[in-house]
Structure 1
Amino acid sequence: MKIEPTKIQLIHNPTAGAEEHEAEHLLEMLKAVGYRCNYSSSKKKILKKVATDVRYIAVAGGDGTVRKAILAMLDKKLRYKRPVAILPLGTANNIASSLKIEENLRLNAEAWKKERFQKLDIGVAKTRKEEEHFIESFGFGLFPALIKWMDEQPRTPSEDPDDEVKQAHHALLHLTKHYEPIKASLLYDGKEVNDDFLMIELLNISRLGPKLQLAKADPGDGMLELIVIKAKQRPILIKYLEEIVAGKKPVFPIKSIQVNHIKIAAETKDIHVDDELKETSQHTWLINLLPNMVDVLLTS
């Protein structure tokens, strides 16, 4: 009796990764491992249709492509919902790294057959007028400033991803030394904190920005990891980043706080939603989670 290959929907960012990550090579690799693929480019309308016999939605790209695919899937009717498999091709790959997903694409795809799943929560940040969904993180302060700085830098297609990460580390160290703190009020677990902050972050995964592991986060536990760095803690953050820039691997020195609901009022127009910089006229945000929205295939 002939065993039919498992059918998957492949969403691919054609601008991510090296030559061997082009669509033709990926499709050949997946066929060799035992999959039939329906292909769609992330640069076009993704998930326009998902066949009923598709078992997984495989996403080949960086964190932005993974986020785009998952949010598009959740925006569709229930028949589009499938487990998500990640083939990490981006610069940081924070989602894949936080889940310890295999970087070798062939070994990664072979591991899908074991069907080990991780539940993934989706973060929700709301104001009276706005609503944002996030998979990685949502925050104020230094990281929106870093994204803005990186967006203003000239990019070349041949730029080494590791060089880009190192450049971001240097930029973050510089910003940390000179960033003007923001005033904010945080209300969670019956506590209210009012202070001047360099950074306020809510993490659903362990890593943030240029491959910085800031917490031990379980993205399916119904909790967010709150990281707050007050202005008076600037020297601690500078020392940590100086060690990063020097090529060391220090442990992040500020302990995270687990929350599942928080109200933040911050005097800033800049926020970030995952790796996207956004401007807002709203200052008060309510942040919580939609639990266990997606199954992600693990590889180890």
Structure 2
Amino acid sequence: MKIEETKIQLVHNPTAGAEEHEAEHLMELLRTAGYKCNYSSSKKKILKKVAADVKYIAVAGGDGTVRKTILTMLDKKLKYKRPIAILPLGTANNIASSLAIEENLRLNAEAWRKEKFQKLDIGLARTRKNEEYFVESFGFGLFPALIKWMDEKPSATSEEPDEEVKQAHNALLHLAKHYEPVRASMVYDGREVNNEFLMIELLNISRLGPKLQLGKADPGDGLLELIAVKASQRPILIKYFEAIVAGKKPVFPIKSAQVNQIKISIDTKDIHVDDELKEVKLPTWNISILPNMMDIILTK
């Protein structure tokens, strides 16, 4: 029996993945699964127009491509809002992994017909002059330092994704030992916390950076997971990263808290928004959650 074709919009990062992840191979895979594709490259202006009969927006790439697609939809005030199907082709694939999305692309595409959806919240961080949206996480300290290190290190053309992840784990261990803590004040749930911190993270998903599961954040519960590591907790953090570097899978040892809004005043210009490093002069941020902004298609 012939499968009735469903029209989808494919947003593809042509530099992600191996040869079998090239545009023509992906289009053939999706055609075989019963989908008719409109193609757009993430390297060009994506979602310039989405046909009325497009049912899903499929994103083939890593976390950055998923984020770019979602932020483009937000920028267009959700004019082209459709459920998003993720075909994970990146190095970390934290968004897909947090949602247990199938890595096998054929099985992934076939599962879309079950129409099992997950609501996705979007984080919003504001100063008086800045406004940043995030899908994965927003934070200060160790992870902006890691992104800076990765941006500055020489890149090897033959570097395998797993090797890149291992290098990032080693860099985090080094930073955990030597990073200079920053003074911060946080106000949430009617209380104020003042201390020196090695890292402060607001997670919208459970995974962060180089494939690290730091929490249990549910991306559709209207809450963010706050992870704040004090300077006094440095030995605990070092022990955790030592275990990671040794190839173990330890549970992150520092207790988190759930918040739907938080005010942070912090003595640093360096922040990260998902996997992007930012430099902002104003020290006070108001961070909140925009609930149920997107639907993600689950595959398991």
TM-score category of the 2 structures, normalised to the smaller one: over 0.9
**1:157 Cα deviation from its structure 2 partner:** 3.5
For the residue of structure 1 that corresponds to 2:47, the secondary structure is: coil
CA displacement, residues 247-286 of structure 1 (integer Å, 9 cap, x when unaligned): 0110100121000000000000100000000001010000
The aligned residue for residue 171 of structure 2 is 171
Partner amino acid for 1:109? A
Equivalent residues in 2 for 1:44-63, closer than 5 Å: 44-63=44-63
The aligned residue for residue 288 of structure 2 is 288
* TM-score (normalised: structure 2): 0.98
Gaps of at least 5 residues in structure 2 are none
Partner amino acid for 1:31? R
The aligned residue for residue 125 of structure 2 is 125
Distance, in Å, in 1 between the alignment partners of 2:5 and 2:168 is 42
| Seq. identity, % | 80
The aligned residue for residue 251 of structure 2 is 251
Partner amino acid for 1:273? V
Equivalent residues in 2 for 1:8-87, closer than 5 Å: 8-87=8-87
CA displacement, residues 134-186 of structure 1 (integer Å, 9 cap, x when unaligned): 00000000000000000111223331100000000000000110000000000
* Aligned: 1:270 with 2:264: no
Distance, in Å, in 2 between the alignment partners of 1:219 and 1:91 is 21
CA displacement, residues 59-78 of structure 1 (integer Å, 9 cap, x when unaligned): 00000000000110122144
**1:3 Cα deviation from its structure 2 partner:** 5.5
Q: Is the 8 A contact 2:73 2:79 kept in 1?
A: no
Partner amino acid for 1:233? Q
Q: Is the 8 A contact 2:122 2:290 kept in 1?
A: yes
Label 1:280 to 1:78 Cα distance change in 2 as closer, same or farther (>3 A). Answer: closer
Partner amino acid for 1:62? G
Partner amino acid for 1:223? L
The aligned residue for residue 197 of structure 2 is 197
* Aligned: 1:226 with 2:226: yes
For the residue of structure 1 that corresponds to 2:195, the secondary structure is: strand
Q: Is the 8 A contact 2:225 2:257 kept in 1?
A: yes
Distance, in Å, in 2 between the alignment partners of 1:141 and 1:179 is 8
CA displacement, residues 216-275 of structure 1 (integer Å, 9 cap, x when unaligned): 111000000000000000000000000000001101001210000000000001000000
Distance, in Å, in 2 between the alignment partners of 1:79 and 1:212 is 34
The aligned residue for residue 101 of structure 2 is 101
Q: Is the 8 A contact 2:3 2:34 kept in 1?
A: no
Distance, in Å, in 2 between the alignment partners of 1:284 and 1:68 is 26
- The count of residues paired between Structure 1 and Structure 2 equals 300
Please report the RMSD computed on the Cα atoms of aligned residues, expressed in angstroms: 1.0
The aligned residue for residue 91 of structure 2 is 91
For the residue of structure 1 that corresponds to 2:39, the secondary structure is: strand
Partner amino acid for 2:8? I
Gaps of at least 5 residues in structure 1 are none
The aligned residue for residue 261 of structure 1 is 261
